[in-house]
Amino acid sequence: MDKEMDFMIRRFPRYRGLVIQLFDTSEDFKAVCEDYWQCSLVIRKMKEENEQVKNGQENPYDQRIISQYNLLRLELESEALRMINGLKFNMPGIH
């Protein structure tokens, strides 16, 4: 299983089947998953590095930058859900 697809399944376990189907059939969905995964990794890395900074030193990552990445991740998540819901509502019996 691709790491990006696995990441999305962990984020949206309720939609596991739809995530797998979209990942297998939609390059756009794959791209959103990849961007979402990468964005999440960057956020985690920035937060970890900020936590490791010794007292008295400035954090390497400004909170505004982290907030911008969080906003981007939220937008990517919304786009992924839009795609999932679009597939869900076009499939009979999956409402």
Q: Answer yes or no: is 28 within a domain.
A: yes
Give exposure, 27-58, as e/b (b: 16+ Cβ within 10 Å): eebbebbbbbbebbebbeebeeeeeeeeeeee
pLDDT category, 95, cuts 50, 70, 90? Answer: very low
Give the range of the structural domain holding residue 40, as residue numbers without chain letter. 3-89
HSE-CB at 90 with a 13 A cutoff on CA atoms is 9
What predicted TM-score, i.e. pTM, was given to this entire model?
0.84
For residue 53, what are the contacts with CB-CB under 8 A and spacing of at least 6? 59, 60
Domains in the chain, number: 1
Q: What is the mean pLDDT of the chain?
A: 89
- Whether 32 is in a domain gets the answer yes
